[in-house]
Amino acid sequence: MFKDLDPILHSQLRLAVISLLIGVKEAEFTFLKEKTNATAGNLSVQIQKLKDAGYIDVIKKFKDNYPQTICKITTKGIKAFEEYVKNLQGYLGKNK
Amino acid sequence: MQQKELTEQESLKLITEMIGKTQSHFHESGASTILWGTVISFCALVSFAQSFWNFSIGFDIWILTLVAVAPQIWIGIKEGRSRVVKTYQDSHIDTIWTVYVISIFAMLVYANVVAYTSVKLLAGDGLEIFSKNISTGEIKPYRIFPPSFSSVMMVLYAFPTLATGLITKYKPLIAGAFICYTCFVVSLFTSFTYDMLLSAIATICCWLIPGLMLRNKYLKQKKEKDV
């Protein structure tokens, strides 16, 4: 019996953001935008969804008079990602 | 990248790709390494020259290390601002170098304070140490200073360099640290004059050369990104 994949993570852009954040301590919005090749608007919406789910922390600051958004994965986000990968491995094993 | 549902295979591929992107992110400009490699080796070479050719420039050249703190702060602020991602590796390396700076400062305080307190403590016991010139017979008060202090400093130079090299798997730093340890061993058998020459060799090999190589790599990467 396989568990359903987390719908918050099982979408391309949100999964890309979480996968980037899992390997780093913190990352700026510009870094996430560059690595995912997403539009700023779309990325903002998906970051907000991850934040609402409690998977990431979003810190807004100012740097050289420009707004700066820093994202960090939370403990809940790490657990959700690990669970997602575990379930994914289950699905892939079943499909072999 | 669009917002779309993924198959299991696509999910796994995406995770692998994104994790790979964070691992390949390289931002070390080498500026701090070049700065300290230049300053320390220059000071050590001037000290060597003064001792070897028996002349004085009229002031303590090592004051330059205090002057270099100002550009280091500027580099730190500038690099901190341009850093768009902070990895766990960056965080660990920053911690190592912070501990190193505290240790260097503590060692400088130790060397100067222990010389002063040793004289005071001996005086309290009614003792004073003298040195005697065997050929002239001249006897004068002996200035207590930790012996071969520059050897100890070389061990300190090597420690954060080797740790950073091993964490980042950057071979020039690892090689530089081993040259620094070799200079330390040799310095145990040499006089102050040659200790200064060895200190210069050590800092050129463990900081200046790897720093220049890092700078070259950084500029090349920046150029590719800008194209």
Amino acid A1: pLDDT: 45
What's residue A96's pLDDT? 53
Inspect the interface and report whether the beta carbons of A24 and B9 lie closer than 8 Å: no
Give chain B's radius of gyration (CA, Å): 24
**Cβ contacts (< 8 Å) between B11 and chain A: which residues?**
5, 10, 15, 88
Q: Between chain A and chain B, how many beta carbons pairs sit less than 8 Å apart?
A: 88
Domain ranges of chain B: 91-146, 148-227
Q: ipTM value of the model? A: 0.86
Q: Cα(B14)–Cα(B11) distance, rounded to whole angstroms?
A: 5
**Minimal-distance CA residue of chain B relative to A33:** B1
Alpha-carbon gap: B68 to the closest alpha carbon of chain A (Å): 25
Tell me the CB-side half-sphere exposure of residue B22, using CA atoms within 13 A. Answer: 25
What pLDDT is stored for residue B3 in this prediction? Answer: 61
Residues across chain B:
227
Query: Given 3-state DSSP classes, what are the helix, strand and coil percentages for chain B, each rounded to the nearest 5?
Result: 75, 5, 20
- Are A18 and A8 contacting, i.e. CB atoms less than 8 angstroms apart? no
Strand, coil or helix: B140: strand
Asked if A38 has any chain B CB less than 8 Å from its own CB, the reply is: yes
Joined tokens for residue B201: 């060799």
Mean pLDDT of all residues in A51-80: 92
Using 70 as the pLDDT threshold, list the residues of chain B that sit under it.
Answer: 1-5, 24-27, 227
Where do the domains of chain A lie?
Answer: 12-94
What pLDDT shows up at residue B141? 87
Nearest to B3 by CA among A22, A59, A91, A50: A50
> Searching chain B, which residue's CA lies closest to the CA of residue A37?
B1
The predicted model scores a pTM of 0.82
**Topology adopted by domain A12-94:** Arc Repressor Mutant, subunit A (1.10.10)
Question: What's the angle, vertex CA B30, arms to CA B43 and CA B89, rounded to 5?
Answer: 120
Q: pLDDT band at A95, cuts 50/70/90? A: low
> Residue B1 has what pLDDT?
64
A95 neighbourhood in chain B, CB within 8 Å: 8
